[in-house]
């Protein structure tokens, strides 16, 4: 018959204490956490730029500069003549060295070419950028039975129904079959009549026209 050999009491005490110590340390160790993600500053800046009314690159290609728009004119390596300027009521902007320049009626690319040619007399191979930072010239006038009549400043190509939605839609008294757009032309003013019901029903989708600066939309 084999005799069982036991550990001395003092050895058992040391082993037990070591195990308990490891257990306590494991529980006390804080759980590591992944660092919190920092906000994407590029997204925030992009939203802020859009909110100020700056045009996207796609819209800027064909955009025609108008009165009250604000432009940032940048000349590479010439910070003293790079500046933000408003388009005056006469359609012109004022810039260092070249004074008044007609801007209204031009696209940013066309204005860039004009400024490049004007500055060549003062600067060697000027590299010019034209950025529309605020669109204020695309104004239409919303009149009659709409929720928010008044001046509506558009930020790009806008159709008739989009403009109506931006002013809150119709009042309960509106005749949705009688929408009139007054538009200036070379000989005076033309009168265009549309029916909201025929547009949304699909009978006359082409009547959902793009509005032009200076249009007056009347809901009877």
CA 67: distance to chain centroid? 20
**139-219 maps to CATH 3.10.560.10:** yes
CATH superfamily of 43-134: wza like domain (3.30.1950.10)
The CA-atom distances, in angstroms, between 94 and each of 85, 159, 178, 217, 218 are 7, 33, 45, 34, 37
User: What predicted TM-score, i.e. pTM, was given to this entire model?
Assistant: 0.61
**DSSP label at 209?**
P
The Cα–Cα gap between 39 and 51 comes to 19
Is 90 exceeded by the pLDDT of residue 52? no
The CA-atom distances, in angstroms, between 169 and each of 88, 163, 195 are 33, 9, 14
pLDDT (mean) for 22-50: 40
Q: 3-class DSSP state for residue 91?
A: coil
Q: Who has greater pLDDT, 23 or 181?
A: 181
Dmax of the chain from CA atoms?
Answer: 126
Q: How many CB atoms lie within 10 A of CB 146?
A: 22
Task: Read off the pLDDT of residues 68-109 as tens digits, 9 standing for 90 and up.
Answer: 999 999 999 999 999 999 999 999 999 999 999 999 999 999
Extents of the domains making up the chain: 43-134, 139-219
The Cα–Cα gap between 174 and 168 comes to 13
47-70 b/e (C-beta count within 10 Å ≥ 16 → b): eeeeeeebbeeeebeebebbbbbb
């Amino acid at each position: 018959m084999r005799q069982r050999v036991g550990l001395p009491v003092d050895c058992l005490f040391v082993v037990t204490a070591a195990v308990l110590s490891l257990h306590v340390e494991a529980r006390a160790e804080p759980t590591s956490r992944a660092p919190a993600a920092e906000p994407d500053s590029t997204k925030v800046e992009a939203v802020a730029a859009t909110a100020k009314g700056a045009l996207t690159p796609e819209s800027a290609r064909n955009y025609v500069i108008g009165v009250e728009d604000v432009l940032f004119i940048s000349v590479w390596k010439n910070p003293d003549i790079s500046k933000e300027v408003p388009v005056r009521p006469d359609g012109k902007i004022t810039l260092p060295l070249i004074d008044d320049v007609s801007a209204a009626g031009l696209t940013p690319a066309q204005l860039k070419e004009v400024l490049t040619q004007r500055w060549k007399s003062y600067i060697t191979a000027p590299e010019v950028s034209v950025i529309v930072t605020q669109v204020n010239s695309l104004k239409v006038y919303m009149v009659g039975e709409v929720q928010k009549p008044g001046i509506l400043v558009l930020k790009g190509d806008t159709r008739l129904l989009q403009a109506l939605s931006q002013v809150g839609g119709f009042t309960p008294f509106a005749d949705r079959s009688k929408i009139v757009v007054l538009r200036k032309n070379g000989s005076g003013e033309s009168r265009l009549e549309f029916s909201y019901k025929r547009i949304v029903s699909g009978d006359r989708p082409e009547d959902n026209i793009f509005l032009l600066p200076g249009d007056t939309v009347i809901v009877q």
